[in-house]
Structure 1
Amino acid sequence: MKMKKVTAMGMAALMAATMIPSVPVMADGGGKVYYLNFKPEADEAWQNLAKAYTEETGTEVTVVTAASGQYETTLQSEMAKSDAPTLFQVNGPVGLKSWKDYCYDLKDAEITKGLTSDTYELKDGDAVDGIAYVIESYGLITNKTLLEKAGYSLDDIKSYDDLKKVADDIQARKDELGVKGAFTSAGMDGSSDWRFKTHLANLPIYYEYKEDGIDDTEAIKGTYLDNYKNLFDLYITDSTCDGAELSAKTADDSRNEFVNGEAVFYQNGTWEYAELSKTYGDDEMAMIPIYFGVDDENEGLATGTENYWCVNKNASEEDIQATLDFMNWCVTSETGTKSMADDMGFTLPFKTAQESTNVFVKEDAEYTEAGLTPVSWNFTTMPSEEWKNGLGTALTAYAAGTGSWDDVVSAFVDGWATEKALSE
């Protein structure tokens, strides 16, 4: 993820605000919190949580949510203002490169002491510049009722070949079954395309890294792009719509298709549980791995994080302390942990976390307990947002029939090398 530089004027304003003690204390007048939230799907829950905290403590908390796919440009703009966010996030080491000079050292913060493992600390040298605040999983959300109506159960899908067989059959019988397709639309609108240029694209990276024994690379080889093609082909052929329509299909379109019973499979994550549970009971839906045709018998859900909280060290000492207090309350209080677990669908990497009622979170734990290996989140090593956008453009053209798979491979492999070089 490649973030643009803050303007010179904004930089000067921020630099002028850096003269604060290394360990701030709460001032008599208190402080305020401004959280720039990355997750549009959790906006309502964050607004409610902020209100609850203000009512309990009197501390003003403002939550602003960036539009999907616009977080970095929004962060750039907001950080250039005099009243900048006190709490923001980066996606991992790549995102941190552009913002490490703005990060308050969280090494001695109470919230950091509460982490279940120091592997959730995002470090630059000895400083803890960020901490993971959520662990999530994604896979293929499945309508079990529709699957059974088609004559199948979850036990019938244990590999890519199984998935293709079932999906192809459902697609061929869609009118008989009363659905529009096996899969919800693989929308390539900006609200939805991250599911394919980031989340689905994680799988060929994961398996290449695993085979080569690495955790990053300057030159991706594309060893498993044929598997990537197989999955994407399945998504766009066994679909609720024609591939030429995908450029305009949104995240809401895809979710609504699943909610309305128009498709059996929906690629998304644990964060969708709160919305889907308004329509379906826990016994009516499940999340299965995105079987990739490589190591299917051992593959679990894709589980990890790209969400690291960072505190703006250039905020006033009162605002820094207020922000630290708010963060800690979110992951230790009954109100905070319940909201983050149930309303937002998060698994919290903190000792004080509540057990989630989210059925998808429970399934992830069950897969792991059964000996399946979670697919790690390696998209934090993707070289830049420009790389993702290039891949998304190529995928959209391929789905519409105006571009070739060779273009997708070029965007993936050549684009990776180019963007990695630019980020150095």
Structure 2
Amino acid sequence: MKNKKRWIALGLVAAMAVGTLAGCGGNKEEGGDGEATGSVYYLNFKPEQDEQWQELAKAYTEETGVKVEVVTAASGEYETTLMSEMGKSGAPTLFQVNGPVGLANWKDYCYDLSDSDVYKQLTSEDYALKDGDKVAGIAYVIESYGLIVNKTLLAKAGYTIDDIQSFADLKKVAEDITARSSELGFAAFTSAGMDGSSDWRFKTHLANLPIYFEYQEDGIGTTDAIKGTYLDNYRNIWDLYINNSTCAPAELAAKTGDDSRNEFLAGQAVFFQNGSWEYGNLTADGTFTDDDLAMIPIYIGAGDEANQGLCTGTENYWCVNSEADEADIQATLDFMNWCVTSEKGTKAMGEDMGFVIPFKNAVESQNLFVKQDKEMTEAGKTPVSWNFPTMPSEEWKNGVGQALTAYAADQTDEQWAGVVSAFVDGWKTEYELANQQ
């Protein structure tokens, strides 16, 4: 297989950094007729849904007798973990890529799903990731992100979400809360942590905004050389986050995703940039009800803000390992189809995980943030598309993240020039490296 030796070598190196993951699947079991039956090993991308995937895997095994092992990569470590696991015997039979850029690395390992039952369950061809005529991946969840709002705290500060319809509005509210933070007892924003468990929210999700508006202005869907047209807007929203937060900007390098969530759960901040996947974490123990929460767009002072919706899309495409044994491939295809067609599977994905799944038998999500995205779209607001799958590499994201962290600690024009260089020059360099013939 082309590139196989290269990927296995990379995987073995990565394994030294990641360490051994327990419970890897891919083992054969004897069926009732003495023949080997397949098994499933799913390398899950989403730590926040690990518990639900473990429960769903157990339910499937109890119902069918087929072993399903779910291993969840640490936040921000999926690609490294995937490289490590693909270099082992009993490699994942089910994994994911984030879109065209991720597919370029793994397309030689992607089984063609064109004739699979799960592919036939998709509600639109738009959710298939193709490599020529081959269906290499299938989107399994559509999500939204924005600014999650504690409406109770916002009301204590004298505002409602109707008062925030633009970046100028958001800035006014946030800076007023900061000016009265001692009196109010809370901050505007949770910590914009730049630890690896949190930095993806800003080097990827927040960075999507200036990319989206540049693509919209230029009428394109990808580029080999980003211009950085809206990087001043990126700086403005980043400044707002880090200077109106629960902590000093210099402390952000060590702040984690858990820190940010826990600050929000404890009522220490009004705004928390995150997505619909956080709904369960915020409501599971009754800390918040739907009446307490809302999600609003991330405004950066660009485009038609009056008609801007949430950031909605996917970077989650299921792929089946074409290098796996035939029995494991079939077992994996059967498991995927069960997840999106059975009552247990669709309930788990739609209700327990809070996903909007793009399949015919999907149950309507009870996730408040999903409902709000639907309401905004039906009201004529335009969702901001997910363009970060076009980011040229993980190294590009890391360069932007490092530059943002350095700028947070020293907010000078010189330090911001480092962000611009990482964003623009880094894009060109990484694109060229990724597309060498």
Regarding TM over 0.5, the answer is yes
- Work out whether 1:244 is the aligned partner of 2:250: yes
- Aligned 8 A contact 2:10 2:83 in 1: no
Where do 5+ consecutive residues of structure 2 fail to align?
A: 13-32
- The structural deviation recorded for 1:336 is 1.2
Structure 1 segment 57-68 matched on structure 2, within 5 A: 57-68=64-75
Equivalent residue letter for 1:382: M
- Aligned 8 A contact 1:201 1:228 in 2: yes
- The structural deviation recorded for 1:229 is 0.5
Structure 1 segment 121-270 matched on structure 2, within 5 A: 121-179=128-186, 181-270=187-276
**Structure-2 residue corresponding to 1:303:** 312
**Structure-1 residue corresponding to 2:125:** 118
Query: What CA deviation, in whole Å up to 9, does each residue of 1:22-46 have, x standing for no partner?
Result: xxxx994321000001111111111
**Structure-2 residue corresponding to 1:18:** none
Change (3 A) 1:201 1:317: same
Moved over 6 A (4+): none
- Work out whether 1:274 is the aligned partner of 2:277: no
* Distance (whole Å) between structure 1 residues aligned to residue 84 and residue 185 of structure 2: 47
Equivalent residue letter for 2:343: E
Residue among 32, 42, 45 paired with 2:39: 32
- Aligned 8 A contact 1:32 1:318 in 2: yes
Tell me the C-alpha RMSD between the 2 structures: 1.5
* Distance (whole Å) between structure 2 residues aligned to residue 35 and residue 147 of structure 1: 41
Structure 1 segment 238-387 matched on structure 2, within 5 A: 238-278=244-284, 279-294=287-302, 295-387=304-396
- Aligned 8 A contact 1:143 1:264 in 2: yes
* Distance (whole Å) between structure 2 residues aligned to residue 161 and residue 330 of structure 1: 44
Equivalent residue letter for 2:241: Y
- The structural deviation recorded for 1:272 is 0.2
Secondary structure, aligned partner of 1:140: strand
* Distance (whole Å) between structure 2 residues aligned to residue 143 and residue 50 of structure 1: 34
* Distance (whole Å) between structure 1 residues aligned to residue 344 and residue 410 of structure 2: 50
* Distance (whole Å) between structure 1 residues aligned to residue 165 and residue 311 of structure 2: 15
- The structural deviation recorded for 1:335 is 1.3
Taking CA–CA contacts closer than 8 Å with sequence separation of 6 or more, which of the two structures ends up with the larger relative contact order?
A: 1
- The structural deviation recorded for 1:9 is 9.7
Secondary structure, aligned partner of 2:168: helix
Residue among 78, 89, 93 paired with 1:82: 89
- The structural deviation recorded for 1:55 is 1.0
Change (3 A) 1:27 1:292: farther
Change (3 A) 1:117 1:175: same
Scaled by the length of structure 2, the TM-score of the pair is 0.91
**Structure-2 residue corresponding to 1:14:** none
- Aligned 8 A contact 1:27 1:318 in 2: no
Secondary structure, aligned partner of 1:354: coil
Query: What CA deviation, in whole Å up to 9, does each residue of 1:69-124 have, x standing for no partner?
Result: 11111111100111100000000001101110111100011111010100111001
Residue among 84, 99, 114 paired with 1:92: 99
Equivalent residue letter for 2:130: K
- Work out whether 1:420 is the aligned partner of 2:426: no
Equivalent residue letter for 2:346: T
How many residues align? The count is 406
Equivalent residue letter for 1:110: D
Scaled by the length of structure 1, the TM-score of the pair is 0.94
* Distance (whole Å) between structure 2 residues aligned to residue 87 and residue 9 of structure 1: 19
**Structure-1 residue corresponding to 2:399:** 390
Where do 5+ consecutive residues of structure 1 fail to align?
A: 12-25
Equivalent residue letter for 1:7: I
**Structure-2 residue corresponding to 1:405:** 416
